A and B are shown apart, each in its own frame.
Chain A
Amino acid sequence: DGGITQSPKYLFRKEGQNVTLSCEQNLNHDAMYWYRQDPGQGLRLIYYSQIVNDFQKGDIAEGYSVSREKKESFPLTVTSAQKNPTAFYLCASSTKTSLYTGELFFGEGSRLTVL
């Protein structure tokens, strides 16, 4: 079945360590996104990518980095510079033709806890 796979589902890391969250899609979608969820807040955009080898900062990009070397893959690295990395992270994708009106397709998320 087509969809978005995020891994790992749960991740524990010590403060000061970089961690990378994986996101893979087989929907042939051009655009991919990373969102963060915190209690009492709506999903917030970290980074998005419209095409391969291109990506843009979202509203809360500080302390994060991404790459888009393949259409199917959009990994997110949470660096030690991110002041409050403990959160739930969702990856999503969409088609280019549905930029304004199309739905987002989501993975099941990754929960990162920094000890």
Chain B
Amino acid sequence: ILNVEQSPQSLHVQEGDSTNFTCSFPSSNFYALHWYRWETAKSPEALFVMTLNGDEKKKGRISATLNTKEGYSYLYIKGSQPEDSATYLCALNSGGYQKVTFGIGTKLQVIP
């Protein structure tokens, strides 16, 4: 079983602060790296699917980068808002239906 690590496991930031978290993974057998946002009492929703080394994706104030050679991805949130409070999951797809490995997530709380 592959090891996908996320750090930190939790953090609190003030509204307006920018923040970032890390997902690290083994770079062998890489097909795709997914980021999901999981708000309390809701279903996880995909933020980004990244496939190419050097990929940078952006959705509003949230962006992500990918380095497949060294095995990490960063998620950035610019000017955090209370509605950004959620758990952010990363998942490595290393080859198909049964080959998606999730990290434990980073729980973000944005304090108004």
Contacts and interface: CB of A to CB of B under 8 A. Distances in A.
A42 B1 CA distance: 12
B62 interface: no
Interface stretch (B13-21, B70-78, B88-96): B88-96
Contact of B43 (A33, A103, A107): A107
Nearest to B46: A103
Given A42-B105, A100-B31, A101-B93, A108 B98 contact: no
A42 B4 contact: yes
Interface residues of B, number: 27
Contacts, number: 65
A100 B1 contact: no
Contact of A101 (B45, B49, B97): B49
Interface residues of A, number: 29
A108 B41 contact: yes
Contacts of A112: none
A1 B1 CA distance: 36
Nearest to A57: B98
Interface string A34-45: 010000111111
B48 to A, nearest CB: 9
Interface of A: 3-4, 31, 33, 35, 40-45, 48, 50, 56, 58-59, 90, 94, 99-109
